[in-house]
Amino acid sequence: MRVVMLGPPGAGKGTQAVQLAGRLGVPHISTGDMFRQATQDQSPLGQQVRSYLEQGLLVPDELVIQVVERRLNEPDCQKGFVLDGFPRTLAQAQALDRFLQQQGQPLDAVVLLEVPDELIVERITGRRLDPQTGQIYHLRYNPPPPEVASRLVQRSDDTEETCRRRLNKYHRETEPLVPYYQQQGVLRRVDGTLSPQEVTQRILEALGVK
Ligand code: ADP
Ligand code: ADP
């Protein structure tokens, strides 16, 4: 199954993508994770994207599209994938459609996690990551077990100011994808304000996964 997770920053895309990819037995592909890894490795890609990430700006389309197409060409993506954080612009969505059309494997579904702006800042500023496992926690909504608490890190772009800029970008550049995918008949809206377990359940139902 080929699925895209759509929604504002902090909507729970990463949290849900991990669950869904595990359930479907397909890779979870997060452009944000790929860019953060490249930045840590100080690779040429990392150097190209660092300043965009730190400022909460979008990485240029051509670069993102190149990175994603290379990843989707790897053999483990033949059976499907869960894309998280891509596409984020209309140009990226059109490039993805062209790429998948060439392979005769269009998207099965686009899951839109709906979370109102008022909840986003709290979600983002309370987010913490375990660098050893990649597990996503929230200080209040998904508190870490005490034994891992001391090693958790906060993303440098998870400040209130950067969060607001990213949210702005989402409304301007990414939200137009909602009518785009609705027209294609693949959009599935899910209430992202419910508990993580409940959201997972609704996603599986929306996708018809038993
Ligand atoms: P969040 O989980 O808060 O939605 P991500 O981890 O997906 O954020 O992305 C972090 C940053 O990486 C973005 O703010 C942006 O700078 C960059 N990025 C990730 N995916 C894309 C994309 N598809 N297009 C442009 N920039 C991207
Ligand atoms: P995204 O990938 O869309 O930016 P994340 O999955 O990283 O979102 O979640 C953002 C923050 O909100 C994390 O701290 C996560 O633990 C928390 N979170 C995720 N889903 C929920 C939920 N359903 N209810 C409350 N908090 C959540």
Q: Does residue 165 belong to any structural domain of this protein?
A: no
Return the pLDDT at 74.
Answer: 97
155 is catalytic: yes
pLDDT at residue 131 greater than cutoff 90: yes
Q: Which residues contact 144 (CB under 8 A, 6 or more apart)?
A: 128, 130, 135, 137, 152
Task: Give the distance (Å) from ligand 2 centre to CA of residue 189.
Answer: 17
Cα-Cα-Cα-Cα dihedral sign, residues 197, 199, 201, 204? negative
Q: What is the percent of the chain with per-residue pLDDT over 70, rounded to a whole number?
A: 100
What pLDDT digit, counting tens, does each position of 56-109 carry? 999 999 999 999 999 999 999 999 999 999 999 999 999 999 999 999 999 999
Partners of 189 in the β-ladder: 112
Q: Which residues contact 8 (CB under 8 A, 6 or more apart)?
A: 115, 117, 120, 167, 170, 174
pTM of the model: 0.97
Return the pLDDT at 210.
Answer: 77
Does an H or E element contain 46, and which? helix 44-55
Q: Does residue 133 belong to any structural domain of this protein?
A: no
Which domain covers residue 82, as residue numbers? Answer: 2-115+174-207
Q: How many domains does the chain have?
A: 1
Q: 18, 31, 123, 197: which to mutate for ligand 2, most atoms within 8 A of CB?
A: 123
Ligand 2 pocket check for 7: Cβ under 6 Å:
yes
Q: Does residue 140 belong to any structural domain of this protein?
A: no
Q: Smallest Cα–Cα separation from 85: which of 177, 160, 180?
A: 177
Could you tell me the end-to-end alpha-carbon distance of the chain, in angstroms, rounded to an integer? 13
79 is catalytic: no
Q: Does residue 144 belong to any structural domain of this protein?
A: no
Q: Does residue 162 belong to any structural domain of this protein?
A: no
**Ramachandran angles phi, psi of 106, nearest 5°:** -70, 170
CATH number at residue 109: 3.40.50.300
